[in-house]
Amino acid sequence: MIELAGVGKTFNPGRDNEFHAVREVSLSIEAGRVTALRGPSGSGKTTLLGLIGGLTRPSVGRVRLHGRDISALPERFLTALRRDTFGFVFQQFQLIRDLSVLDNVMLPAVPTGRAHADIHARALRLLDEVGLGQRAAARVQWLSGGEAQRAAIARALINDPSVILADEPTAHLDSALSRQILEILAELRRRGRTLVIASHDPLVFEMDLVERVVDLRDGRVLTVHGLSTVPMDKSACRP
């Protein structure tokens, strides 16, 4: 569903500190699958995730979503498309302090102009699903790391996106909490969502969640290999 053709991202082009964070990546993300971007720190995982999700504009190359070139869309359209298609889970949770968990979850839906009551109800349901129903009114800075990550996942789901992009979802959590988060992601996969996870945490790859691994180094794709031989769940819902 998402195709990258010869995509590259250069920071500070033409200056002394010019840096090619991603080079000539051609890749396709398949619908309903779990793809992982793997590589050491600084290999370009986050940048690539941004390129896939339309958050970062490519310096060269084309990004297509459902066959449509989105690299040159006006900001307004790109943003709307991104909002409807992608849910982002950032590396540092990126919740807004002093707002309640509920308000944080509702934020991505504000510009859509959907009815307040609908957004509100959906946010509460999502919080229930990630086990934070009780904490809806709490300020986010009082959440533990695991709770914050679950709130961030609920927020990513508020606009009902078909693709979830998660950047190092387990980076700040111990292994028990990490498993909990991965379990939630697995549940999303089961419900038919496409997942792209950037991570170098072995735990992510131990669980039978990831179906395809893209190995990155210095901004280039080294290998792409399927792990679909590993039986994933007992699920019958694989396409």
Ligand X SMILES: Nc1ncnc2c1ncn2[C@@H]1O[C@H](COP(=O)(O)OP(=O)(O)O)[C@@H](O)[C@H]1O
Q: Give the footprint of Mg ion on this chain (CB under 5 A).
A: 46
Residue of minimal Cβ distance to Mg ion: 46
166-199 burial, b at 16+ Cβ within 10 Å, e below that, comes to bbbbbeebeeebbbbbbebbbebbeeebbbbbbb
Number of residues that bind other proteins (CB under 8 A): 46
User: From the list 159, 170, 178, 199, which residue makes contact with other proteins (rule: CB under 8 A)?
Assistant: 159
Distances (CA, A) of 61 to 9, 90, 140, 165: 9, 25, 39, 21
Say which amino acid occupies 174. D
Which entry of other proteins, Mg ion, ligand X, none binds 114, CB below 5 to 8 A by partner kind? other proteins
Cβ neighbours, 10 Å, residue 14: 6
Please tell me whether residue 99 binds other proteins under the rule CB under 8 A: yes
Cα 124 to chain centroid, rounded? 21
Which entry of ligand X, other proteins, Mg ion, none binds 8, CB below 5 to 8 A by partner kind? none
Which entry of other proteins, Mg ion, ligand X, none binds 73, CB below 5 to 8 A by partner kind? other proteins
Which entry of ligand X, Mg ion, other proteins, none binds 44, CB below 5 to 8 A by partner kind? ligand X
**Binders of other proteins in range 59-78 (CB under 8 A):** 59, 71-77
Please give the helix or strand (H or E) that residue 23 lies within, else none.
strand 19-29
Closer to ligand X by CB, 22 or 95: give it.
22
**Taking the alpha carbons of 181, 185, 188, 193 in that order, is the dihedral positive or negative?**
positive
Interface contacts to ligand X, rule CB under 6 A: 11-12, 19, 21, 39, 41-47
Taking the complex as a whole, how short is the minimal distance between the CB of residue 91 and ligand X, in angstroms? 8
Q: Within 13 Å, how many C-alpha atoms sit on residue 54's CB side?
A: 26
Please give the helix or strand (H or E) that residue 188 lies within, else none.
helix 175-190
Q: Which residues bind other proteins (CB under 8 A)?
A: 13, 46-47, 49-50, 55-59, 71-77, 79-80, 82-83, 88, 90-92, 94-99, 103, 107-116, 119, 155, 159, 167
